[in-house]
Amino acid sequence: MKSKFCSLLLCLPLLLACQSNQNPHVSQVTSPTDLYLDNQYLSIKPMSIETEQEIFQLDDDMRGMVQNKLSNNLTTQQKARVLLDHLFNEENIALSYDGNANVTAQEAYHSKLANCMSLTILAYALADEAGMNISFQNVDVPEYWVRNGQYSLLTGHVNLLVEESKDVDKRVVWGKRKIRIDFDPFVAKKSFPSHTIEKHTLLAMFYNNKGAEEMLNKNYPLAYQYLKRATITDSQFSSAWGNLGILYKLSGHYDMAESAYSHAINLNRDNLTSLGNLALLLNKQERYNEAKPIEEFIHKARVKNPYYHALLGNEAFFKQSYEQSIKHYKKAIQLDDEQHEFYFGLAKAYYKQDKLALSKHAMKKAVALTKTKDTQKQYIAKLNFLKYHETTTP
């Protein structure tokens, strides 16, 4: 699977265990308003949080594009095609994917960089200005992680659905009546289930992304403000409460971290990340009997997910346990042999063991499987390095 996913929550990875049949019991939180610690995250410098208007706002250049290219004489389907062409065609904006680009519509438009969240925000703002019938979609992709420094980020995916208006587009009598605007064609190809989300939920996701980003930057006061705004914007968005728990844990507020995790899990019983982070917290406090059933439950829920085994491979590689890393990558490939990231991870682990022939073979598979030009160029460069290194090694 391509890495073109939105980072929706920060995951401190769980690396265990056996089996269980029931979702472990998690204590209830009395009131979500009790989960805030405003006086613990004060900052000398002023902190600015983007408003909804600032996130979706267009400037004169963007409005001019809408007026010039998305005229009312076009059907919604035609407008969507023109919009897609303008966003991705090299003669126009030519947006490039950047997983760290958690930016507003204007920032994405002018920097030409966006992640799937920012693309969705930009496309929505333009489509809304053009009077198109649009909605936000949350796509139920498998759990998928990417490493960022000492942390692993669990990613999700959102896109935009454009539908023809029956009142306006009576001329359209055949063909597709829905068009998705998405950075990742893999998602559409796999036909993952998706469901409509409201604008306030997307905003909460945006603030959650920004909060996770500031946590990685160790700017905890700003991270707190973003995560609090996420939970206020959509109080039912479980991931934001889970990230707030991580922030509390990193800051040493263990009781509040446990309460935030518990609230996140009670909002969404399938929030395995918050369950895993809760187990890590319990283990840190030597509450092993409480942590064990959670670990067993999570392992059983994830054991058939190839990306889970790739996560374990990444973690083992990070800890320089290369033999263990290879074992996990091979298990991921056994479950799904069409993902270039698995072979790239395998190639790195082989290289660390000086098994250059095996590393080169895995890199060739990674190159053959990737469909992204930038990633393919990077892989080819690494493959050429391996070829050169192999021929010059005595």
* Distance of alpha carbon 12 from alpha carbon 273, whole angstroms: 8
Residue 392 pLDDT more than 90?
no
pLDDT band at residue 185 using 50, 70 and 90 as cut-offs: low
Residue at a domain's end among 244, 271, 286: 244
**Overall average pLDDT of the 59-79 stretch:** 90
Residue 279's closest CA among 309, 244, 313, 242?
242
Higher pLDDT, 12 or 184: 184
Do 223 and 341 share a domain, yes or no? no
Do 233 and 107 share a domain, yes or no? yes
Confidence at residue 168, expressed as pLDDT on a 0 to 100 scale: 47
Confidence at residue 2, expressed as pLDDT on a 0 to 100 scale: 37
Residue at a domain's end among 244, 264, 290: 244
**Overall average pLDDT of the 138-163 stretch:** 74
The pLDDT tens digits of the residues spanning 322-352 come to: 999 999 999 999 999 999 999 999 999 999 9
In the chain, the percentage of residues whose pLDDT exceeds 90 is 52
Residue at a domain's end among 210, 226, 244: 244
Do 311 and 231 share a domain, yes or no? no
- Encoding tokens for residue 164? 């023809």
Confidence at residue 6, expressed as pLDDT on a 0 to 100 scale: 36
Whether residue 310 is contained in a domain is answered as yes
Residue 5 pLDDT more than 90?
no
Whether residue 269 is contained in a domain is answered as no
Do 88 and 172 share a domain, yes or no? yes
Q: What is the mean pLDDT of the chain?
A: 84
* Domain membership of residue 316 as a residue range: 306-392
Higher pLDDT, 260 or 192: 260
pLDDT band at residue 145 using 50, 70 and 90 as cut-offs: low
Do 90 and 213 share a domain, yes or no? yes
pLDDT band at residue 122 using 50, 70 and 90 as cut-offs: very high
**Overall average pLDDT of the 247-272 stretch:** 94
Whether residue 293 is contained in a domain is answered as no
Confidence at residue 25, expressed as pLDDT on a 0 to 100 scale: 59
Residue 366 belongs to domain with CATH number: 1.25.40.10
Residue 173 pLDDT more than 70?
no
Cα 31 → chain centroid: 28
Residue 128 pLDDT more than 80?
yes
Domain count, the chain: 2
Beta-bridge partner residues of 154? 9, 145
Higher pLDDT, 180 or 281: 281
pLDDT band at residue 204 using 50, 70 and 90 as cut-offs: very high
pLDDT band at residue 15 using 50, 70 and 90 as cut-offs: very low
Residue 393 pLDDT more than 80?
no
What are the angstrom distances between the C-alpha of 149 and each of 32, 46, 344? 31, 27, 18
Q: Which of 138-152, 190-204, 348-362 has the highest mean pLDDT?
A: 348-362
Whether residue 332 is contained in a domain is answered as yes
Whether residue 285 is contained in a domain is answered as no
Residue 56's closest CA among 123, 4, 138, 102?
123
